């Protein structure tokens, strides 16, 4: 590593203390849950630091491959954030995310798009045009990542005070009305962390939000409960039951997590437990549902294709849960 690369890493990489539960003021359900969530943050920043210092995106993959399976997706998410931040700088070139996704990171595309959303929260708005998210379907994951970042670092405003912006300027071609919903999916996902993976706290927190926002919040929490984990089978069963009319949204988010894990080859034991409870499927089965829902997806509807995809997944899984 050159002196310049080392300096760039130190200048760009956030302080790891900011991922500690006590620093964030998040609820600690148990030492095990705390350790899991702090490991997520630690490996996220591991990926970020790798991407901040390597000269070319292709150089990151070998080092990211050494991160344990359970946390490797978070490392790719962090790496994508760092590359997006580098793209947003006025110097140093602007195709890092594009080149990253053109290589082995393609298997982690879902997490990478979320990582770009983290960068959106750190890059000045006038540089948002530098963010690489060309897929018309997956680009909404950028706003999911943005929502997670805001709820994670601005918890009082976005979670405690249930803040939601009236309008949001990205993506420029809209539809503008859907941006807030995609952001809420990230807020719901972050709430799983804020509440220390305690489903009872998550449900109590969502009860404070306007009913119109809860479906997206629950979907985000279902994704986090499956991808990051932290709750046992009994807790997950309670969460599904307590979600009530939003159980299908929880299942949809869980299936998204399954799809991301399967595509990247990173399925671990807690993913199987979560999809069995929340989706009534194996992780592979839930992932298959997400793939089948892509067939014939319309891109010329007033409703974003991404939302139609989510609705199809929800419908398929709800039918399964009711049988």
Instruction: Give dist(CA 145, CA 224) in Å, integer.
Output: 12
What pLDDT does residue 22 have?
87
What pLDDT does residue 7 have?
46
What's the pLDDT tens digit per position in 223-236?
A: 999 999 999 999 99
Mean of pLDDT values over 188-199: 98
Q: Is residue 214 a contact partner of residue 206, using CB atoms and an 8 Å limit?
A: yes
**pLDDT classification of 5: cutoffs 50, 70, 90:** low
What's the pLDDT tens digit per position in 9-35?
A: 444 556 667 778 888 999 999 999 999
- Least Cα distance to 309 among 295, 288, 319 occurs for 295
Mean of pLDDT values over 146-156: 96
C-alpha atoms less than 13 angstroms from C-alpha of 210 in its C-beta half-sphere: 9
Percent of the chain clearing pLDDT 90 (strictly above): 82
Mean of pLDDT values over 125-135: 92
Percent of the chain clearing pLDDT 70 (strictly above): 93
C-alpha distances in Å from residue 162, one per residue of 91, 102, 112, 150, 207 = 37, 38, 27, 12, 10
Q: How far separated are the first and last CA of the chain, in Å rounded?
A: 57
| 76 pLDDT higher than 60 | yes
CA dihedral sign, ordered 181, 300, 137, 12: negative
| 6 pLDDT higher than 70 | no
- Least Cα distance to 13 among 52, 60, 44, 39 occurs for 52
More confident residue, 73 or 17: 73
What pLDDT does residue 104 have?
84
**pLDDT classification of 322: cutoffs 50, 70, 90:** low
Mean of pLDDT values over 210-214: 98
- The token pair at 47 is 């990926």
**pLDDT classification of 160: cutoffs 50, 70, 90:** very high
| 4 pLDDT higher than 70 | no
pTM exceeds cut of 0.75: yes
**pLDDT classification of 169: cutoffs 50, 70, 90:** very high
**pLDDT classification of 321: cutoffs 50, 70, 90:** low
């Amino acid at each position: 590593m050159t002196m310049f690369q080392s300096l760039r890493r130190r200048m760009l990489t956030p302080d790891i203390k900011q991922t500690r539960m006590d620093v964030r003021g998040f609820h600690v359900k148990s030492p095990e849950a705390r350790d899991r969530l702090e490991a997520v943050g630690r490996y996220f920043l591991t990926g970020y630091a790798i991407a901040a210092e390597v000269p070319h995106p292709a150089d990151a993959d070998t080092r990211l491959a050494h991160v344990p399976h359970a946390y490797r997706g978070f490392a790719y998410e962090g790496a994508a954030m760092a590359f997006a931040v580098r793209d947003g700088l006025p110097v140093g070139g602007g195709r890092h995310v594009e080149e990253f996704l053109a290589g082995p990171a393609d298997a982690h595309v879902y997490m990478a798009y979320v990582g770009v959303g983290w960068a959106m929260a750190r890059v000045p708005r006038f540089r948002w045009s530098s963010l690489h998210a060309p897929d018309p379907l997956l680009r909404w994951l950028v706003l999911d990542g943005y929502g997670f970042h805001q709820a994670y670092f601005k918890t009082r405003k976005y979670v405690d005070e249930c803040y939601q912006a009236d309008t949001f300027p990205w993506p420029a071609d809209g539809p503008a009305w859907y941006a807030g919903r995609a952001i809420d999916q990230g807020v719901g996902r972050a709430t799983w962390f804020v509440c220390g993976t305690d489903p009872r706290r998550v449900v109590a927190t969502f009860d404070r939000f306007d009913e119109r926002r809860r479906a997206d919040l629950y979907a985000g929490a279902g994704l986090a409960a499956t991808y990051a984990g932290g709750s046992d089978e009994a807790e997950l069963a309670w969460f599904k039951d307590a979600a009530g009319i939003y159980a299908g949204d929880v299942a949809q988010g869980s299936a998204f997590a399954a799809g991301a894990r399967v595509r990247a080859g990173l399925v671990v034991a807690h993913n199987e437990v979560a999809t069995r409870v929340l989706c009534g499927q194996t992780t592979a089965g839930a992932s298959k549902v997400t793939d089948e829902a892509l067939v014939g997806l319309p891109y010329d509807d007033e409703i974003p294709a991404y939302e139609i995809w989510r609705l199809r997944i929800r419908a398929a899984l709800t039918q399964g849960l009711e049988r």
